[in-house]
Structure 1
Amino acid sequence: MNAHLLPTGSPYFTAAETQIPERHTLSVLVDNEPGILARVVGLFTARGYNIDSLTVSETEHEKGLSRITVVTVATPKVLLQIKLQLERLVPVHKVHDLTAEGKALERELALVKVAGTGEHRVETLRLADAFRAQVVDATTESFVFEITGKPSKIDSFIALMVPLGLLEVVRTGLAAISRGPEGM
């Protein structure tokens, strides 16, 4: 049997998928109106695409525009399909693949609650200082830290807090912007 005619998981027999999934950050400029977020998320859900991170905020109040930042993992072929389908949605103005366009600035904020008594309390504060995490709440039995940075930095901080008494984590999701003088 010809290898290019083998089933691929699709109802259609096409060439086997040889592309490796990659993490991409998409920035989507939309009109700030009810239902647009549900439509964007629905596009992903209906097609079985996973969203790793999602942030939304009004960015241009006078123009009534919001920016949706979506992090997803997909093959280049699927990613192109996602972008094309997003661009067809009304009221989407622009879709940028910040990952493909070059090095984007990416940051995330997390609040991390850690139990802290005895020797663990001192070690927790030492590590928080090394990661430039700010204490935003402290009791005699716990701390809440605010940490910002790349998701990998936050992941590392959380991993170090587990043996020291990690209690709870809340993350905002990724905020990203392209470098250079060009805007969206």
Structure 2
Amino acid sequence: MKHTIAVLVNDQPGVLQRVSGLFGRRGFNIESITVGQSEEVGLSRMVIVTLGDQSTLEQIEKQLYKLIDVIKVVDLGSRPMVARELALIKVKSEPAERPEIMGVIETFRASVVDIGSTSLLVQAVGDTQKIDAMIELLKPYGIKELSRTGVTAMIRGNG
């Protein structure tokens, strides 16, 4: 079962290494991790997607709280959330194929951010399933390069 957790941490050198090291030492896998500034100066927010059952999630939370720079841990998946990922996809694209490729891109509400003589650079934002589906449809044209951010998420509403 996938779990998405947000971890509020002090913005200090080595914090990302300590958090990821904790996962590795305990045998927990990180499917994706994003880190960036939070709404509070001096604090960063990590959004981590990991796999495991409920007891694994509880163990992860307990272990994270043992790290000195961890301020707060929130299980985002326990409440309705908005989760998004960004992907940049460079697709082989001869001019004759472009209208067909553009049809795929438009279907997913993605956009072309660069055009080369034999390729298109596509930007897609959405949930992981949307990004996965778009990549599958673009594979037959030839994906030259792919970069994904990993999931970032927040709880919906006023909470």
Structure 2, unpaired ranges of 5+ = none
Q: Return the alpha-carbon distance in structure 2 between the equivalents of residues 118 and 91 of structure 1.
A: 52
Q: Which residue of 35, 53, 56 corresponds with 1:75?
A: 53
Matched ranges for 1:35-184 at <5 A: 35-60=14-39, 62=41, 64-100=42-78, 102-182=79-159
- 1:122 Cα deviation after fit: 1.8
- 1:140 Cα deviation after fit: 2.4
TM-score normalized by the length of structure 1: 0.83
| Root mean square deviation of aligned Cα | 1.1
Instruction: Kindly indicate whether structure 1 or structure 2 has the higher relative contact order, using CA contacts under 8 Å at least 6 residues apart.
Output: 2
Q: Return the alpha-carbon distance in structure 2 between the equivalents of residues 165 and 124 of structure 1.
A: 11
Q: Return the alpha-carbon distance in structure 2 between the equivalents of residues 158 and 90 of structure 1.
A: 40
Instruction: Decide which structure has the larger Cα Rg and report it.
Output: 1
Q: Which amino acid aligns with 1:107?
A: R
Q: Return the alpha-carbon distance in structure 1 between the equivalents of residues 136 and 37 of structure 2.
A: 33
Q: 1:149-174 deviations in whole A, cap 9, x for unaligned?
A: 00100000000000012211100111
Q: Which amino acid aligns with 2:88?
A: L
- 1:119 Cα deviation after fit: 4.2
| Aligned sequence identity (%) | 43
Q: Which amino acid aligns with 1:79?
A: L
- 1:120 Cα deviation after fit: 2.6
Q: Return the alpha-carbon distance in structure 2 between the equivalents of residues 81 and 128 of structure 1.
A: 41
TM-score normalized by the length of structure 2: 0.96
Q: Return the alpha-carbon distance in structure 2 between the equivalents of residues 178 and 60 of structure 1.
A: 14
- 1:141 Cα deviation after fit: 0.8
Q: 1:118-163 deviations in whole A, cap 9, x for unaligned?
A: 5432211111011111110002211000000001000000000000
Equivalenced residue count is 159
Structure 1, unpaired ranges of 5+ = 1-21
Q: Quick check: which one's strand share is greater? A: 2
Q: 1:16-58 deviations in whole A, cap 9, x for unaligned?
A: xxxxxx1000100011011111110011000111100000011
Q: Return the alpha-carbon distance in structure 1 between the equivalents of residues 146 and 129 of structure 2.
A: 15
